[in-house]
A = this chain, B = another copy of it.
Amino acid sequence: MRILIANANTTQEITELCAAAARSAASPGTEIVPATPRFGPAVISSRAENIIAGHALLELLAEHAGTVDAVVLAVSHDTALEAARQLMPCPVVGMTEAACFAACLVGARFGLVTFGGIETYRERIGQHGLAGRLAGLVGVEATPQETLADPAGVEVKVLAGIMALVAAGADAVVLGGAALAGMAPRLQGRTPVPLLDGIVCAVRMAEMLVGLGLPKPAAGSMAPPEGRASIGLSEPLAAMLRGR
């Protein structure tokens, strides 16, 4: 099985980090195929960047359509997730989506910790239909840079956020955002509830969906585009809009 780990940021290092996490999470026999968009923001941290990255991501996916068995969106905003799901002939899973759904399978309500702003995560979880199972969101005030300089200090802040969410009723906590990637194993021993890493959950969810072998929808809002004209797009992407 080949799983595309599609970053929506153009920072190659993030792709590699995510690919490494994906490889460590994947089942034997699963091949991880990392990919980085040709254009777009270095790191998404605003609404505008998220939209731009959505196009870049779809272009990237179009290049790999037919050559992979599933796609994991390696971007904590689940950028362009529904569009990617519609476009691609194979399963597509968002990393935060995957972690939130996994959290729902192990507890009643869950929380999410990230760095910085939490509002767009609140919106995204609402769009996933899971607002009723969200116990709370914590935005840790720490730059990714600080993570490098004082990782122990940052981990203390993240732990405090996790404990606040447990106190608010979370049975599990999602670690959201690239800067928290890889932190789950280090913190798990110090927290009383499961910590969920997006990439790890998404790889396992993608494997599960491939295992289910479901057909591509031919009707409804997830049926692939067909006969759509466009200008100025990459040829693979334009071809997917035209359909077969």
Chain A contact residues, CB within 8 Å of chain B: 10, 25, 27, 38-43, 45-52, 54-56, 58, 80, 82-87, 91, 93, 97, 101-102, 104-109, 117-120, 122-123, 126-133, 166, 169-172, 188, 192-194, 196, 200-201, 204-205, 207-209, 211-212, 214-215, 217-225, 228-233, 237, 240-241
Contact of A230 among B42, B194, B229 (CB under 8 A): B42
A21 CB to closest chain B CB, in angstroms? Answer: 13
A219 CB to closest chain B CB, in angstroms? Answer: 4
* Across-interface contacts of A47 in B (CB, < 8 A): 82-83, 85-87, 221
* Across-interface contacts of A196 in B (CB, < 8 A): 212, 214
Contact A211 B41 (CB under 8 A): no
* Across-interface contacts of A212 in B (CB, < 8 A): 102, 196, 200-201, 204
In the assembled complex, the Cα of A201 lies from the Cα of B101 at a distance in Å of 14
Contact A171 B117 (CB under 8 A): no
Contact A119 B51 (CB under 8 A): no
* Across-interface contacts of A192 in B (CB, < 8 A): 217-220, 223
In the assembled complex, the Cα of A172 lies from the Cα of B212 at a distance in Å of 13
Contact A220 B119 (CB under 8 A): yes
Q: Which 3 A-B pairs have the closest CB atoms?
A: A39-B232, A192-B219, A55-B55
In the assembled complex, the Cα of A32 lies from the Cα of B55 at a distance in Å of 28
Contact A240 B169 (CB under 8 A): no
A189 CB to closest chain B CB, in angstroms? Answer: 9
Residue on B with the closest CB to A45?
A: B228
A203 CB to closest chain B CB, in angstroms? Answer: 9
* Across-interface contacts of A127 in B (CB, < 8 A): 123, 127
A223 CB to closest chain B CB, in angstroms? Answer: 8
Assess A204 versus B211: contact at CB under 8 Å? Given A91-B106, A169-B119. yes
